[in-house]
């Protein structure tokens, strides 16, 4: 599951209780260029937080360096040409807040 936090970061969580290592690979990591390691919480959940630029992103979780898993609780999935499901995430542009004094001028 993916959640936008009040800090503006995005939190990725997946439940893989028997995994030794879980990472996120996606458009925002250059896929294989800079995978993001997730941290275990000891109860089977793995978590990572990061800032993401606005736009449409795709990603998957890689478990123990070999198994790939889509996140069906993200903003949807897409079937890739090679037959794997890719998770989708839409990061909206956040409108800048204009102070009332500036807007009234």
In order of start, what are the domains of the chain with their CATH numbers?
2-104 (2.60.40.10)
**Averaged pLDDT, 34-45:** 96
102 has a pLDDT exceeding 50: no
pTM of structure: 0.84
Average pLDDT value for the chain: 90
Spatial separation of the C-alpha atoms in residues 37 and 99, rounded to whole Å: 39
> What confidence tens digit (pLDDT) does each residue in 51-94 have?
999 999 999 999 999 999 999 999 999 999 988 999 999 999 87
Residue 44 φ/ψ region, left for φ over 0, alpha for ψ in the -120 to 50 degree band, beta for the rest: left
In this predicted structure, what is the pLDDT of residue 99? 53
3 has a pLDDT exceeding 80: yes
With b for 16 or more beta-carbon neighbours within 10 A and e for fewer, the 65-95 pattern comes to eeeebbbeebeebeeeeeeeebbbbebeeee
97 has a pLDDT exceeding 80: no
């Amino acid at each position: 599951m993916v959640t936008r936090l009040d800090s503006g970061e995005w939190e990725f969580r997946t439940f893989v209780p028997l995994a030794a290592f879980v990472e996120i690979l996606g458009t925002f990591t250059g896929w294989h260029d800079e995978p993001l390691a997730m941290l275990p919480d000891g109860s089977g959940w793995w978590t990572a937080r990061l800032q993401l630029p606005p736009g449409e992103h795709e990603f998957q979780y890689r478990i123990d360096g070999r198994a790939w898993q889509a996140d069906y609780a993200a903003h949807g999935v897409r079937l890739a040409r090679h037959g794997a499901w890719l998770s989708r995430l839409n990061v909206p542009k956040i409108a800048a807040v204009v102070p009332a004094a500036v807007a009234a001028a």
